[in-house]
Chain A
Amino acid sequence: MPESKEQLYAERLKRYTTAMRNGKPDRIPIRPFVAEFICNHTGYTCQEVTQDYQIAFEATRKCCLDYDWDAIVPNMVYLWAGVPQAAGLRYYQIPGIGLDPNIAFNYLEPGEEHAFMRADEYDEFIADPTAFLFNVWLPRVSTDIVAPGQPNTYRNNLAFFKAGLSILSYFNAFGLQVERLRTECGTVSAICGMLKAPLDVLADKFRGYLGLCEDLVVRPEKVRAACEALMPHLLHLAISSADPSKTLPLGFWMHRTCVPFISQEHFDSIHWPTLKPMLEELWRRGHQVLFYAEGKWDAHLDAFAELPEGSIIFHIDRTDPIAAHRALHHKFALSGGVPNHLLAFGTPQQVREYCKKLIDEIGRDGGYIMDASAIMQNDTKVENMKALTDFTREYGVY
C-alpha cells in the first residue's frame, strides 16, 4: 500500500496514463464518470449539488475517499446553476425549480419554429460567428439580454457582468478542487479542457436537431460552411483549455453526429471533414482527446481508425465493444462499456459478471480503462458501483 496520498496519486497517474497510451499498466485503471451518482453516496439532493458547486466538489472528494478510483472528473455534475441563472439562460431545467429536487438538470431544445438561429441566418453566422453570438444568439437564449437596437435595460447590463463573473468564479474554483483531489484523496483529474464537433454545436445550440436535419437536406452547403466557420473557434477553445503539461486528454463530448442521427453521406461530407482536421491539429500540438462517444458509433469506427496512433482514447457507450476493439485497439486505448441500465437495475453479481466479460474481451492486453457506458446519474446503485470497483481491482490485474 502507498504510504502517502502523494505516492498513491503517482501510482494512479502512472496507471491511468499508461493505459491511455494503449500500454499495459500494473492493473486496469478505474475512471468512473460519476455525475449525480455522488448524491446517492453522500445523501445530497440533485438540487444541492447543482446549486452549490462546493457541495458537488465535496461530494466528489467523499466518493474518491470511499472508492478506490484512479481518476475522476472533478465535478461531473458539471452544471453550476449560478451560471444559467446569472445569464438568464432559457434552455435549462434546474432541479428544485419547477423540477423535483432529486431529478438531474435537463437541456430543453426549442421547437423548430423557435430555434435560436433561423434557417435564413446562416450567412450572417458564417460571416462572423462571434458577432452573431453577441448580437443574435445571446439575446435569444437569455431572458435578460436584449438585442442591439432594442431599448436597453438594467437587467441587460447586469446580465453580462453576472454571467462573466459566475463563469470565472466557477472555472477558477476547479484549480483548488484538482489540487484537493490530489492531496486529500490521491485521485487524478481524468480530463482537462473541452472539445465539441462543429456539427454537434450547430445542432445543440443554434438550429436544434430537427432544424439541422432539414438543413442537411435543403441547404447542406450552408451547413458545411457554418461548420467550417466554427472550426477555428472550437479549436481555439480546446487549445486554450487543454492541459499545458499534455498529460491529461481533452474531453470530447459526442452527441448526435453518428448514423442514424445523420446519414453516412453527411458524416462523410460534412461532419468528419470539419472534425478530423481539429483532432489532427490537437495531436500535432501533443494533446490527446477522449472520444466520449455517447450512443452507438459502429458505422464510423473505420473513419476513427484513420487518426494518428495514440491521438485518442475511444469511450464505448452503445458501440459494440468487440467491434471497437477489433477496429481501434491496434492504435488506441478504449474505455467504458458497462451498461448504465445494468448499474441502475441489475444486481452486484450481474455487474461483476459483465465486468469480467468486458475485461476478458477487450481488456486483457492493456489499453483499457474501466468505466460505465455513459455518465452515471442518481439511478446508479451504490452497491453496483462498489461491485464494479472491487471486482475490477481484484480481477483486473496484469
Chain B
Amino acid sequence: MEKKPTPPRPPGVCVPWEEKLKELPPILSREDLVKQSWQNVDGLAYCCAWHIVLSF
C-alpha cells in the first residue's frame, strides 16, 4: 500500500506512548517493559472502540 503521512494517532493507538512518557516521573529501569504494557492495553482499547464501529 502506498505510504501516506502518519496520522496524529496511528492505527492501534489511542494515546501514543511518547505522549504518556512525558507525564511520567523518570523511568529508572526497563523502559521497554513499561512501554510494552502501556501499548498492549492501549491497543486493546483501540480495538474495542473501533470494533463497535466495525462489528457491532
Contacts and interface: CB of A to CB of B under 8 A. Distances in A.
A and B assemble together: yes
Interface of A: 78-79, 83-84, 87, 89, 127-131, 133-134, 137-138, 141, 163-164, 167-168, 171, 194, 196, 201, 205, 228-229, 231-237, 240, 277-278, 280-281
Interface in B7-56: 7-14, 44-56
Contacts of B48: 163-164, 167-168
Most buried by B among A194, A205, A236: A236
A277 B2 CA distance: 8
Contacts of A240: 12, 47
Nearest to A141: B52
Given A167-B51, A233-B50, A278-B1, A128 B8 contact: yes
A229 B4 CA distance: 10
Contacts of A194: 51, 54-55
Those 9 A-B pairs whose CB atoms lie nearest each other, nearest first: A236-B11, A281-B1, A277-B1, A232-B11, A130-B9, A164-B48, A167-B48, A233-B11, A205-B53
Contact of B52 (A89, A171, A278): A89
A387 B10 CA distance: 50
A133 B11 contact: no
B53 to A, nearest CB: 5
B52 to A, nearest CB: 6
Contacts, number: 76
Contacts of A131: 8-9
B7 to A, nearest CB: 7
Nearest to A279: B1
Contacts of A233: 11, 50
Interface residues of B, number: 24
Given A164-B48, A240-B47, A130 B14 contact: yes
Contacts of A196: 54
A232 B10 contact: yes
A232 B4 contact: yes
Contacts of B8: 127-128, 131
A176 B43 CA distance: 23
Contacts of B51: 167, 171, 194, 237
A89 B54 contact: no
A150 B11 CA distance: 27
Contacts of B2: 277
A44 to B, nearest CB: 21
Contacts of B56: 79, 83-84, 87, 89, 167
B13 to A, nearest CB: 7
10 contacts: A79-B56, A87-B56, A89-B52, A127-B8, A130-B50, A133-B53, A137-B53, A168-B44, A196-B54, A236-B11
Nearest to A130: B9
A278 B12 CA distance: 16
A228 B4 CA distance: 9
Contacts of B53: 133, 137, 201, 205
Nearest to A133: B49
A377 to B, nearest CB: 18
Given A141-B52, A194-B54, 14 more contacts: A78-B55, A89-B56, A128-B9, A130-B14, A130-B50, A164-B45, A167-B52, A167-B56, A168-B44, A205-B53, A232-B7, A237-B11, A237-B47, A277-B1
A171 B2 CA distance: 32
Contacts of B11: 232-233, 235-237
Nearest to B14: A130
- Among A130, A131, A235, chain B packs the most CB atoms within 10 A around the CB of A130
Contacts of A228: 4
Nearest to A83: B56
A133 B50 contact: yes
A127 B47 CA distance: 19
A253 to B, nearest CB: 9
A281 B1 CA distance: 6
Contacts of A78: 55
